[in-house]
Amino acid sequence: MIIASSGEPSLKLSTKSRTKFKKTITTTAAATKTRIHCQDVQESDPTSYSAESIGSNQDLINLIFTKLEPKHRQRCAIICKFWYSVITSRTFKYKLPPLSHLLVRWSATQSRQRSIFPAIKYSIVPLHNHQTSNRPPPQTLFRPALDFLESNDQHVNGIRIIQSCNSLFLCSPDSSIKKLNKNGAEKNNGLFPNASNVEHYVYNPGTNKFRTIPWPAVRRKTTRQVIAMNLAFDPTKSPHYKVVSLSTVRNSCSSYNQVDIYSSEKWRWRATKAEFLPNWAHVDFTNGVFFNGGVHWASHTGNTSVYFDVENEHFKIMPMPPVQGGGQRRSIRYFGESGGRLLLIDSQEQSP
């Protein structure tokens, strides 16, 4: 139960109502009577005492804020300083909406396809819809997802989700399979085997729409090898997302590392002045996690790793937990964000 505490900042009544009801704003019982006797002026002054009590009670107004979409909630910060402080406080208890859909990854094998690698497909299944009666047959609940490549590129065997970030996905075509099929031999080129050709997509599973993210520009006589490509999106802060690219640029005489940022506000890439930290060589850049304004990467060895502060555009040191079992190298089973925390699962199997 929520009880109004006297320690909260009380809100002033608007000038008009203050002169009328100055004496009766202290207790609910007294105020309810006020409300009754002020009903005849309600036409010209629509403020109700109850609404005033709610607006000045941190717990009650917080409850209403949790029901508002993030965008509408953020707008309420303009109402007054007290609301601003509630909305922007670190203790704001934002409840995530319940999970609505499940993304299912499955492989489709077709007999006429010579490839030994089945195409990867995705479907979206709603988790709760519907009336108990008239429930449609289960198979019609599935709707295809991430199927936008199938029609325009037959060489692609599927799509790879690189990262899931606050309801958006960063994906790329699974071109490693394509390359393997064509040449008949595996090339170990890391995450982005054919970097200059691989496109990236930002995909919204809610709308089934995607946008192609172009490749960051390369100057003449230089090559670019991408180290990491990650999405940074926090709908409670901004409706725009950013794609962060870490790459090594080489020309005939030198090579250097560079961070570029693509913003959905401007629809273009921009090189940053961010400098890589000395410990970056030990960092595993294949799995970036956007959390608390930064893209974080874990490290298999050592007691530090790095994250990239997207707002301020520089790298910072991230401490790593001790290696399990006293060994030298972590065996990372999971690295991700959940419920406002960064989680790392390191499971070290003891060798006999």
Partner 1 sequence: MAAETGTPTTLTLKSNDDELFSVAESAAILSVTIRNMVEDGCAGGVIPLDNVDGKTLASVITYMNGISAIPADEEKKKSYRDKFLSDKDFETLADMVLAANYLNMSCLMDAVSAKIAQVMEKKSVGWVRRKFGIENDYTPEEEAAVKEEHKWTFEGVETDDDN
- The residues binding partner 1 (CB under 8 A) are 1-2, 11-15, 17, 28-29, 32-33, 35-36, 42, 46-55, 60, 63-69, 71-72, 74-84, 131-132, 238-239
| Residues 6 or more apart in contact with residue 108 via CB below 8 angstroms | 118, 119, 120, 121
Cα separation, 325 vs 179, in Å, equals 39
Candidates 257, 233, 255, 258; CA nearest to 243 is 233
Give 37 or 282: the residue with its C-beta nearer to partner 1: 37
240/329 with CB nearer partner 1: 240
Secondary structure percentages of the chain, helix, strand, coil, to 5 = 20, 30, 50
Q: How far is the CB of 14 from partner 1 (least distance, A)?
A: 5
Q: How far is the CB of 187 from partner 1 (least distance, A)?
A: 44
Q: Residue 319: CA atoms inside 13 Å, Cβ hemisphere, count? A: 2
Structure tokens at 123: 């479907």
At 176, the amino acid letter reads S
Pick the closer one to partner 1 by CB: 58 or 164. Answer: 58
Nearer Cβ to partner 1 (72/187): 72
Question: Which residue's CB is nearer to partner 1, number 14 or number 107?
Answer: 14
* Least distance from partner 1 to the Cβ atom of residue 312, Å: 17
Tell the smallest beta-carbon distance from residue 98 to partner 1 (Å). 12
Cβ of residue 42: shortest distance to partner 1, in angstroms? 8
Q: Which of residues 52 and 346 has its CB atom nearest to partner 1 in the complex?
A: 52
Task: Provide, rounded to whole angstroms, the least separation between the CB of residue 200 and partner 1.
Answer: 25
Amino acid, res. 76: C
Beta strand 159-165 with 168-173: parallel, antiparallel or unpaired? antiparallel
List, in sequence order, every residue forming a beta bridge with 306; answer none if it has no partner.
297, 317
Give the C-alpha separation, 230 to 237, whole Å.
Answer: 18
The H-assigned helical ranges of the chain are 15-21, 28-37, 49-55, 58-67, 70-75, 81-88, 138-141, 175-183
Q: What is the nearest approach in angstroms of partner 1 to the Cβ of residue 295?
A: 22
The DSSP letter of residue 73 is: H
Q: Please, is 248 exposed, middle or buried when counting C-beta atoms within 10 Å of its C-beta (0-12, 13-18, 19+)?
A: middle
- Min dist CB 12 to partner 1, Å, is 4
Nearest in space to 179 (alpha carbons), one of 163, 164, 196, 162: 196
- Which of 44, 151 has the CB closer to partner 1? 44
Nearer to partner 1 (CB atom), residue 13 or residue 177 = 13
